[in-house]
Structure 1
Amino acid sequence: MKVAIVGIGLIGGSMALDLKSAMDNVKIVGIDKNEQNLKKAKELQLIDEVATLKDLKTVQVVIISVPVDVSIKVLAQVLDHIGENTLVLDTGSTKEKICESVKNHSKRRNYLAAHPIAGTEFSGPEAAIAQLYQNKTMIVCEVEKTAFKLQEIAFDIFQRLGMRIRYMDPHSHDKHIAYVSHLSHISAFMLGKTVLDKEKNEKDIFDLAGSGFASTVRLAKSSPAMWSPIFKQNKENVLETLTEYIQNLNEFKNLMEQDDFEKLFEEMKNTNHIKKVLNGIN
C-alpha cells in the first residue's frame, strides 16, 4: 500500500511510524510546504520519498495532518488530484467546517472525516513517536458519506493502529471537544501567562514549580500555529465553554472571599468524581 501524508509533524509522523510497524509492504510518501520538515522526516525514516499533490493519483491512502485552517484548503486540493479509489483522511480537531467545505465536492465519497484523540505538546517531525495511537479513540464523522469500500480500508488501518472507534456528527464533535480538549489548552496557556506576568524572576518559577504546576501548564508548550486556528474555527463552542469555566472560577473566588471553606471542600470533593470517569476511559 502506498500512503501519502500531507503535513509531517507529530500526528502525521507518528502515524507514519505506526503504519510502517503495523503493515507489510507499506510505502510512505510525504508532502509538506516546509522543506526542512521533509528533509528531517526522511532522515528519521518517517517517509520513504518526498511527493507533491500531482503524485496523489498513484497512492491508495492520503492522510492530511496540517493545521485546521490550512486543512480546509488542502482537502479540496487533495480531492482534486486523487484517483477514483483513493481514501482521504484528515486528523483535525474541528470537524464541522471542514465537512461543510467539501459537501458538494465530486469526490466527497473518497473522504472520511476523522480525529484521533492523541498527541503531545510537541510539534514537528522530531516529535513523532511510535504507538501514539495505541488504545486511543478515533472519532469518525459522517461515515455514511464515505464509500463503503473506503470505510473498510480506513477501519482496517485504525484497527492495526490499536484504536477504538467512536461515531459522532460534526456539530456534536466540535461541541464536546471544546470542553474536553480546547478548554484544557486555553486554561494551560492562561495559567502560563498569569505566572509569567507575575513571576518576573524565571529562576523562581523553575525552582518553585512542582510536578502539579508542570503537568497543569504542560499544554501551554503546544504550538500557537496549530491552536489559534482551532479556537477560531470552533469559536462559538469555545466561548460557551469559557463562559461556564469563568463562572466556576468566580464561584470558587466568591466562596474564598466569604470564608465558606466548607462549601469549597464539598465542591472539590464532588469534582473528585472525575477520577472515576477518567479511570473508565483508561
Structure 2
Amino acid sequence: MKQIYSIGVGLIGGSLALDIKKQDPEVVIHGISRKDATLNQALELNIIDKKAVLEDVKHADLVIVSIPVDATVKLLPTILDLIPETALVVDAGSTKLDICKAVENHPKRRNFLAMHPIAGTEFSGPTAAFEGLFIGKTNIVCEVEKTTFKLQEKALKLFTDIGMRIRYMNPEAHDKHIAYMSHLSHISSFMLGKTVIDKEKNERDIFDMAGSGFESTVRLAKSSPEMWTPIFEQNKTNVIETLEEYINNLKHFKELMEQDDFEAVFNEMKNTNHIKDILNGIA
C-alpha cells in the first residue's frame, strides 16, 4: 500500500499518516480536504507529501476517511465508485451503523473496512496530529467478513504494526457500547462546562479556582462541536438511553444528599471505585 490518500488530515487522519510513514518511509501520503489552508498546514508539518482532490483516489492503494460521520455517510459511496478494484477504503468514524448501511449494497462493498480507533485528544486539526497516538489503543473493526480477505489482511497488519490491538464487533453493538464509553463522557464534560459558565460569570474566578479535578473532567468540552454533533445525531437512540440512566443516577445521588444519608453516599462512591480495577486491567 504505497499510494495512500487521507481524506481529512486532522488529529486522527494526520496521526495515522505520521505513524504509517514512520513504519514505511516509501509510502506517499496524499491529503484531501475541503480547505486548501488545511492541506498547506499539513504539508508544512510533514503530515502529507502531496495535496490531492477527491477524483485522485482512482490511483489509491489505501484511502483513509477521517471526517465528520455525517460527511462520511454522504461521501463514502462516491469514494468507492472512484477507487480501483485493488484499493481499500477505511473510515475512522465514531459511529458505525449508519456508515455501514450507506454502502451495504455497493458493488465495491468488499473494498471497504469499517473501523474505529479508540484514540484521540480534545484537540483537532493538523496541529493536533502526532506520532504514537495509536500505540496500545484498540481499533474496533466492524463487519470484517464483508471485506475481501487479502485487503483486510493488509490493513490489519498495517494497524497492528503501528501499535493497535484489533477488536471485532458488529455495528449495532459498537454504537451501543461507545455511547456509554465515549459519547456520554463528552456530553457530561460539555454540560459541566456549561453549568460552570452559566453560574460563574466571572471568567477570572473560573481560571483561579479550577483545580486538576475540574480541568480533567471538563477537558472534553474543548472538543469540536462540528465533529460531535453529527456523532450524537447518528447515535441518537443509544445516546438518549445512556443519558436517561446517567440522569437517574444523578437524581438518586441528589436524593441521598437531601435525605442526609451520607452513609449511602459513601457506599455509592465506594462501589464505583471498582472502575479503577477495570481500567487498570485494560491498561
TM-score interval, normalised by the smaller of the two chains: over 0.9
Alignment RMSD (CA, Å)? 0.6
Where does structure 1 lack aligned partners over 5 or more consecutive residues?
none
Shift of residue 2 of structure 1?
1.1
Q: Does 1:272 align with 2:273?
A: yes
What CA distance in whole angstroms lies between the structure 1 residues aligned with 2:35 and 2:77?
Answer: 20
Q: Which sits farther off after the overlay, 238-247 or 53-62?
A: 53-62
Which letter does structure 2 place at the counterpart of 1:125? P
What SS does the corresponding residue of 1:28 show, helix, strand or coil? strand
Shift of residue 76 of structure 1?
1.0
TM-score, normalized by length of structure 1?
Answer: 0.99
Deviations 1:66-98 (A, max 9, x none): 000000111111101100010100000000001
Which letter does structure 2 place at the counterpart of 1:36? A
Counterpart of 2:135 in structure 1 is 134
What CA distance in whole angstroms lies between the structure 2 residues aligned with 1:254 and 1:200?
Answer: 28
Counterpart of 1:245 in structure 2 is 246
Which letter does structure 1 place at the counterpart of 2:3? K
Show the 5 A alignment for 1:231-242.
Answer: 231-242=232-243
Counterpart of 1:47 in structure 2 is 48
Shift of residue 128 of structure 1?
0.4
Counterpart of 1:75 in structure 2 is 76
Which letter does structure 1 place at the counterpart of 2:63? V
Where does structure 2 lack aligned partners over 5 or more consecutive residues?
none
Q: Does 1:64 align with 2:54?
A: no
Which letter does structure 2 place at the counterpart of 1:108? R
TM-score, normalized by length of structure 2?
Answer: 0.99
What CA distance in whole angstroms lies between the structure 2 residues aligned with 1:56 and 1:115?
Answer: 21
Counterpart of 1:182 in structure 2 is 183
What SS does the corresponding residue of 1:25 show, helix, strand or coil? coil
Shift of residue 208 of structure 1?
0.5
Which letter does structure 1 place at the counterpart of 2:113? L
Shift of residue 160 of structure 1?
1.2
Shift of residue 24 of structure 1?
3.7
Q: Does 1:22 align with 2:23?
A: yes
Q: Which sits farther off after the overlay, 18-27 or 253-262?
A: 18-27
Which letter does structure 2 place at the counterpart of 1:103? E
Shift of residue 189 of structure 1?
0.1
What CA distance in whole angstroms lies between the structure 1 residues aligned with 2:252 and 2:19?
Answer: 45
- Segments of 4+ in structure 1 off by > 3 A? none
Shift of residue 58 of structure 1?
1.4
Q: Identity of counterpart residues, as a percentage?
A: 65
Shift of residue 25 of structure 1?
1.0
Q: Does 1:229 align with 2:209?
A: no
What SS does the corresponding residue of 1:36 show, helix, strand or coil? helix
Which letter does structure 2 place at the counterpart of 1:213? F
Show the 5 A alignment for 1:155-174.
Answer: 155-174=156-175
